[in-house]
Chains A and B, each alone.
Chain A
Amino acid sequence: MKKTFKLLAGILGLISLFGLLHQTDFSLVQLAASEPSAAETATQSSINWLLIIVSILIGGIIVLIFDITNLTTRVTGKNILDWNKLNAWLCLVFLILGMGAAFWEFFYHGKYVITEKATAHAENMNMMFNATLFFTGIVFVIVQVLLFYFLFKYRTKEGRKATYYSHNNKLEIVWTAIPFVTMAVLVLMGMKTWSNITKKSSDNPKEIEIYAYQFGWNARYSGADNIFGEASFNYISGTNPLGLPVDAEIDALIVSLTKELNGDTIEVNGEPRIIPGLYTQVKDSIFNLYHQSLLEEASGIGLTYTEDKRNALQKKIESIESGAAMADLEAAIYRKEKQIQRIAQIRSAPSAKETIFNGSTYDDVISNEIHLVKGEEVIFLFRARDVIHSAWMPHFKVQMNVVPGMQTRFRFTPIKTTAEARVERGNEEYDYYMFCNKVCGSAHYNMKIKVVVETQAEFDEWMKTQKPAFAKVNENEVQLEEVAPEASDSAKIENKELALK
């Protein structure tokens, strides 16, 4: 009696909850601040409804089953559901439906699997993949079928006793040996494929530097002289984002670093204004003064600020009071001093002129697209600015981590142009991309660069439109070139050095 009452109450409660939700339109889910379009609202609410209905249905089923089974068990002393039989049949049903679903998936979504031969090594890898799929597919089907079939077949029955069968060494050796042999085959095939991809190429492949940063990529071509300069994170500045060894840029960087440390005077409306450097800022008296002024601001004019601005102000004050601001300043000073020191060290090395600052980077081309030539072997030299990234070109079966402080490389040969790929797909807009595939920060999901594969002629055409990097970033150099067009490379550098002095 009590149980029935509880059951009824449960159902009533569910129904009323349902009605309540219906009336309130579930404001929890629809907290839209902007004005969504009608279609958007429709999908959104249908999604929400789906969620709600699914959870309510499940909740209802739980309560019902729980109470019904409990009731009947208590009354009759027997379970209403013979779970042994039911489960055995469910296993069979699951096996059939599950296998069906797996095969459906295999043919329906299987068509999206990348089997494209966009690179020379893709065919090799496809073969390897198919071989593995063949072996694993057989095992998958056999084991799953046997598993669920056994469950169905050997479900408990009245008066039956299981067969006492504890081991069979021969059988066990056989089913250890079979996987072992299979693995040996896979290992051998895998080794061959792997060494094909990783082995050093005999002919000199074209080198392209791929530079990764939060959150984007650059490609650097070595230009006419075919030599990359030795770039370093020490030289990176706003106008020299890849940190190329360009003397003028580095001089400018050192000047700006020194100014940041020592302070600067700029002209505002014809009047000189002093911008305090880090050395000044870090002084106790100035620091306290700053703190004081912030406190005054917070208690006075700060009260009229918007909430965000007030919070920002409060954060500044807190960071000063906790010592974080001071520590940050000191760290910044240390970093910049070190950077100046390191650059000086590199420059003072006796062979620096010949090996690093020899001007070979001046004709490098920096691009926001990767252009490759069909059929030409290429080797990517990867460099990262900040954290680990990973260059991932799914259609080319190319992937390599890009690690700060360490050069990684990947060699491959594209064998299909973008134009061909477009024709194949019937999509005029289609483009290959390189993605980032190692979590690297908030915009990781949107860190990509277009990859264009084209014929040699098209590539040359494109290369002509690209300006050498230094010309892009360094106007002095352009003028210099005009002044002394015939000068040899080394003379050019000497000239430039003189000009700078």
Chain B
Amino acid sequence: MSTAAHADHGSHGDHHHKETFISKYVFSMDHKMIARQFLITGIIMGCIGVFLSVLFRLQLAWPETQFGILKMFLGSFAADGVLSPEYYMALVTIHGTIMVFYVLTAGLSGTFSNLLIPLQCGSRDMASPFMNMLSYWFFFLSSVVLLSSFFVSTGPASAGWTVYPPLSALPKAVPGSGLGMTLWLTAIALFIVSALLGGINYISTVLNMRTKGMSMNRLPLTIWAFLLTAILGLLSFPVLLGAALLLIFDRSFGTSFYLSDIWLPGEGAYANVGGSPILYQHLFWFLGHPEVYIIIMPALGITSEVIATNARKPIFGYTAMIISLIGIAVLSFLVWGHHMFITGMNPFLGTMFMFITLIIAVPSAVKTFNYLATLWRGNLKFTPGMMFAIGLVSFFVSGGLTGLFLANAALDIAMHDTYFVVAHFHLVMGSSAIFGMFAGIYHWYPRMFGRRLNESLGHLHFWLTFVSAYLVFFPMHFMGLAGVPRRYYMFTVIPEFEIWADVNVMITIAAIVGSVAQIIFLWNFFSNIFRGEKSEQNPWKSNTLEWTAPLEGIHGNWPGAIPTVYRGAYEYSRPDREEDYYPQHIPGDDDGVYHPESEQKATIRKETVEVSKDKEIVYFTALRSIFGLNKG
């Protein structure tokens, strides 16, 4: 870490503990270091998750081919180089768990909440730096516990990432439900503790520790997104903890909360009666659905910031963006049932869940339209961060629209648990959120490490990943609509699905290309920590506060007083300013809002003329004459 040279940090505060290597890099209580720790752990977990997906994609594309590479990595689980069905399921399960929790929850929101909340709100650190440190170390421990399940002789948990009982509760039903499952549950319990410790810190910091002038309606959208994400996590993770504890009791203490009427060969009838497996699903999805918004909302927040900065335009409809974020957050607690349409639920309940689920599409649509409007007539600078943010928007649209099919209880009967679902969530929350994460990494890399990434490699990385992600997930829609179920070890045993053999090969090749493209990123990321070009203070000419603090990252963030905030975060390209940005901390002679009263009429007239000269698309002129430009 390049900042080591600048260890003589600011002498702020009333505490002067000496910084050793351990206290600076390992048990650091500095939010910027914790953010880096989260990021690097997240990246490592991400590599593992992606690698696992390549392993099982090989199996899907060439089911009976022997791959030495599988034998090399998996040993007896892939005897003769062919993956065993049990281990295929374990790979799928751990891939899902790692990507959902470890990369896209901790790696994404953990990293950027930690980095940006104090910096963009103008705080010295988190409300409780100690809890923040604990949060990371619980996460680290949890990762270690999860990965250790690879070394269990019966294999890791293999009941799918949702670990539905009874499958996950019966070691005799699937080997992965033995010690592997115990480790999975332990890991998740630790993870929940980590997420809660982090989340309460984020909320408290945002609400109580903003600098002078930073009112809620001047907060950058990133912070709004992180705040709402943390609230979602705070309200939903305890429920998952409850579900997991009940499952742990069922597995280890002989209770029958989820178990009933089970008979297994060699075991006979189990003693458990009266439990309800569906109860687990209710509890799980009460977390599980907010969880997908926990994943996507930080990514959307990052996108808002990156797009506005690089389009050199105020984010369109700041208030609408916040309202839609809040709308999504509230509604996300009322829609969990759409994961359970075919569990035999009461049809009336199904109707309610369908109704609310479809309504949640409205705020999402508003967000998308607002992004488009932000790009419209911007001065777009295509930094790698910007490209990834745009990739997010594209994926969010493609994947979000298919959600309208799945939200429909009737259509869900014919689509539930097929490849259509796989395509849907990989686009809308997988690829989208990963792209949001990349956008954040490329955008705030100078903030984190004080150096710049190689831009060309960034663009190469973007295009390879973007194209291969579409190639991987787009054809899956059609597989799903043709009835191909997900989590199948191979399709050759069912003649009807054999037509997809060549598509499967194509998908796997695209997946491999996409995965290999990540090596570019890894190289770019890790090598430039040490040898990258030194970044200037505000490389993207951004308005927000994080670029006013020294990039070396001193304790307490600002050497002197914390800057005061005078306006919102998105005052780009203001007509009354020479420069196309207007940082939040620069005092202005106004109340922070641009009032174009006097210039307004002239501007409109001038611009209308200009536009018609440009022969810009006719309906935009029409739209403007209907709605009026620059009026609020």
Residues on A close to B: CB < 8 A? Answer: 27-34, 43-44, 47, 50-51, 54-55, 58-59, 61-62, 65-66, 69-70, 79, 81, 83-84, 86-88, 90-91, 94, 98, 101-102, 105, 109-110, 112-114, 124-125, 128-129, 132-133, 135-136, 139-140, 143-144, 146-148, 150-151, 154-157, 160-172, 174-176, 179-180, 183, 186-187, 190-191, 193-199, 214, 232-234, 236, 243, 257, 332, 334-336, 338-339, 342, 385-388, 390, 392, 394-395, 397-401, 403-409, 433, 435-446, 448
Check if A336 sits within 8 Å of B268, measured CB to CB. Answer: yes
Q: Please, which residue of chain A has its CB at the minimum distance from the CB of B164?
A: A388
Chain B residues near A69 (CB, 8 Å)?
454-457
- Which chain A positions have C-beta within 8 A of B519? 58-59, 62
Task: Check if A446 sits within 8 Å of B512, measured CB to CB.
Answer: no
Q: Can you name 14 A-B pairs with beta carbons within 8 Å?
A: A29-B69, A83-B382, A125-B414, A155-B382, A162-B377, A164-B594, A167-B319, A167-B632, A168-B316, A183-B358, A186-B408, A196-B410, A335-B268, A403-B343
Which one of B133-141, B389-397, B557-565 is at the interface? B389-397
Chain B residue numbers with a CB within 8 Å of A444 are 85, 89, 487-489
Distance (whole angstroms) from the CB of A194 to the closest CB of chain B: 4
Q: How many A-B residue pairs have CB under 8 A?
A: 430
**B residues 335-383 touching A (CB-CB < 8 Å):** 342-344, 347, 350-351, 354-355, 358-359, 361-362, 365-366, 368-373, 375-382
If A31-B67, A406-B278 are given as contacts, then 5 extra A-B residue pairs at C-beta distance below 8 Å, sorted by A number, are A136-B404, A214-B264, A234-B269, A404-B277, A437-B418
CB-CB under 8 A for A61 and B460, given A147-B397, A156-B380, A162-B572: yes
Shortest distance from the beta carbon of A235 to any chain B beta carbon, whole Å = 9
Distance A446 CA – B490 CA, assembled complex (angstroms): 9
Chain A residues closer than 8 Å to B21, beta-carbon distance: none
Interfacial chain A residues near B630, Cβ < 8 Å = 164-165
Please tell me if the beta carbons of A33 and B80 are within 8 angstroms of each other in the complex: yes
**Per-residue CB proximity of B487-498 to A under 8 Å, as 1/0?**
111110110100
What residues on B are CB-neighbors of A140 within 8 Å? Answer: 397-398, 401
- Give the complex CA separation of A148 and B394 in angstroms: 9
Count residues of B near A (Cβ-Cβ below 8 Å). 150
Assess whether B512 is in contact with A387, with CB atoms less than 8 Å apart: no
A150 to B370, CA, bound (A): 13
Complex contact B314–A437 (CB within 8 A)? no
Contact with A along B302-342 (1 / 0, CB 8 A): 00000000011111111110000000000000000000001
CB pair A165–B494 under 8 Å, yes or no, is no
Which B residues from 447 to 489 make CB contacts under 8 A with A? 454-457, 459-460, 463-464, 466-467, 470, 474-475, 478-479, 481-483, 485, 487-489
**Distance in angstroms between the alpha carbons of A91 and B313 in the assembled complex:** 20
Cross-interface CB contact of B173 among A171, A214, A433, cutoff 8 Å: A214
A176 contacts across to B, CB distance below 8 A: 320, 362, 365-366
Residue of B whose beta carbon sits closest to that of A80: B456
A interface majority secondary structure = helix
Interface pair B166/A114, CB less than 8 Å apart: no
Docked-complex contact B416 and A139, CB < 8 angstroms: no
Question: Which 5 pairs of residues, A with B, have the shortest CB-CB distance?
Answer: A394-B483, A405-B260, A408-B344, A193-B410, A198-B347
Does A387 lie within 8 Å of B167, measured CB to CB? yes
The one of A29, A32, A390 in contact with B417, judged by C-beta atoms closer than 8 angstroms, is A390
Say whether B355 contacts A31, CB under 8 Å.
Answer: no
Measured CB to CB, the closest approach of chain A to B480, in angstroms, equals 9
Listed residue (A84, A234, A441) with the most chain B CB atoms within 10 angstroms of its CB:
A441
User: Contact: A233 with B62, CB < 8 Å?
Assistant: no
Q: CB < 8 Å: which of B275, B317, B413, B455 contacts A399?
A: B413
**Complex interface bits, B55-76 against A, C-beta within 8 A gives 1, otherwise 0:** 0000000100111110110000
Cα–Cα distance between A170 and B490 once the two chains are bound (Å): 53
CA distance A135 to B475 in the complex (A): 20
Q: Find chain B residues with CB under 8 A from A408 CB.
A: 343-344
Query: How far is B483's CA from A88's CA once the two chains are assembled, in angstroms?
Result: 38
- In whole angstroms, how far apart are the Cα atoms of A135 and B456 in the complex? 38
Question: Is B385 an interface residue, CB under 8 A from the partner?
Answer: no
The answer for the CA separation of A448 and B166 in the assembled complex, in Å, is: 20
B397 to A190, Cβ gap below 8 A? no
> Which chain B residues lie closer than 8 Å to A135 at the CB level?
404
Asked whether A47 lies within 8 Å of B62 as measured between CB atoms, the reply is yes
Identity of the chain B residue whose Cβ is nearest the Cβ of A185 in the assembled complex: B358
Contact assessment for A29 and B67 in the assembled complex, using a CB-CB cutoff below 8 Å: yes
How would residues 251 to 265 of chain B score, 1 for a CB under 8 Å from any chain A CB and 0 otherwise? 000000001111110
Partner of A405, one of B85, B276, B314, B459: B276
Complex Cα–Cα for A59 and B515 (A): 12
* Interface residue B575 (Cβ < 8 Å from any Cβ of A): yes
Distance (whole angstroms) from the CB of A326 to the closest CB of chain B? 16
CB neighbours (8 Å) of A31 from chain B are: 66-68, 71, 80-81
Minimum C-beta distance from B339 to chain A (A): 11
Q: Is there an interface contact between A197 and B413, defined as CB atoms closer than 8 Å? A: yes
Contacts of A441 in B (CB 8 A): 89, 167, 173-174
Which residues of chain B are near A438, meaning CB under 8 Å? Answer: 164, 417
The answer to whether residues A164 and B173 also contact, given A128-B410, A437-B418 and a CB cut-off of 8 A, is no
Assembly CA distance A445 to B80 (angstroms): 20
Please indicate the chain B residues that have their CB under 8 angstroms from the CB of A398 in the complex: 413
Q: Given A150-B375, A187-B358, A386-B170, are A166 and B460 neighbors across the interface (CB < 8 Å)?
A: no
Give CA–CA (A290, B294) in the complex, Å. 55
Q: Across the interface, which residues of A come within 8 angstroms of B351, CB to CB? A: 191, 194-195
Q: Check B317–A90 contact: CB distance below 8 A.
A: no
Q: Which residue of B lies closest to A28 (CB)?
A: B68
Q: Of the 9-residue stretches B118-126, B432-440, B621-629, which lies at the interface with chain A?
A: B621-629
Interface membership of B16, Cβ < 8 A:
no
A175 neighbours in B (Cβ, 8 Å): 365-366, 369
Q: Which residue of A lies closest to B319 (CB)?
A: A167
Which of A50, A109, A172, A387 has a CB less than 8 Å from the CB of B478? A109
Q: Are the CB atoms of A194 and B380 closer together than 8 Å?
A: no
B411 to A190, Cβ gap below 8 A? yes
For the complex, what is the distance from the CA of A161 to the CA of B312, rounded to whole Å? 8
Is B268 within 8 A of A388, CB to CB? no
CA distance A177 to B588 in the complex (A): 37
Specify which chain B residues have a CB less than 8 angstroms from the CB of A435 in the assembled complex.
485, 494
Q: Which residues of B contact A436 (CB under 8 A)?
A: 485
